[in-house]
Amino acid sequence: MQVSEIQLVYRTKVKATDRLQVSTSNDAYQALLSVWDMDTIEFVEHFKILLLNNAGRVLGYYHLSSGSTQGCLVDPKLVFTAALKANAPRIILAHNHPSGSIKPSNGDKTVTQRLKEGGHLLDIQIDDHLIVTPTAFFSFADEGLL
């Protein structure tokens, strides 16, 4: 009988002392812009996650999904798989609006609340959810929506 082995591995390329510190929503926005494909930010919607340690240092980021001009799928299982694999106790959610609008939709609010509830069960804190464009961002945390 054969049984598949599951490995939980996280390999960092950045020394702990060199990891970016995220203390504000603007810090998170700048970190996200550095890994966002600027050729597609105004073309299709993407959803990414910043994975943080307890000190707010960036462990890495995960590109969760790409969609269309109108939206993309957010699978909570994949969000938390990435966080658990990196042993990240805190995460920041982010997606872009190709339209350039930073106003959250009702769907954005719903997915944020669902992920916040799921994170609570797993002891993974959702620090923020950003809507990003090349020139501006919206922070759910700064606006009291988280």
In a domain, 2, yes or no: no
| pLDDT higher at 42 or 12 | 42
In a domain, 71, yes or no: yes
**Residues 12-36: what's their mean pLDDT?**
91
Q: Which residues contact 119 (CB under 8 A, 6 or more apart)?
A: 80, 83, 91, 125, 126
User: Can you give the pLDDT at residue 73?
Assistant: 87
pLDDT bin (cut points 50, 70, 90) of residue 18 is: confident
**Residues 61-76: what's their mean pLDDT?**
86
In a domain, 43, yes or no: yes
Residue 24 has pLDDT above 80, yes or no: yes
In a domain, 66, yes or no: yes
User: Can you give the pLDDT at residue 8?
Assistant: 65
User: Can you give the pLDDT at residue 116?
Assistant: 97
User: Can you give the pLDDT at residue 17?
Assistant: 83
In a domain, 60, yes or no: yes
Token output for 8: 């939980």
Number of domains in the chain: 1
CATH number for 111? 3.40.140.10
Q: Which residues contact 22 (CB under 8 A, 6 or more apart)?
A: 28, 31, 50, 52, 56, 57, 58, 92, 127
Distance CA 48, CA 86 (A): 15
**Residues 122-126: what's their mean pLDDT?**
97
| Residues spanned by the domain of 54 | 18-139
**Residues 103-131: what's their mean pLDDT?**
97
In a domain, 7, yes or no: no
Distance CA 138, CA 141 (A): 9
Residue 4 has pLDDT above 90, yes or no: no
**Residues 65-82: what's their mean pLDDT?**
88
Whole-structure pTM value: 0.91
pLDDT bin (cut points 50, 70, 90) of residue 32 is: very high
In a domain, 12, yes or no: no
| pLDDT higher at 12 or 35 | 35
In a domain, 64, yes or no: yes
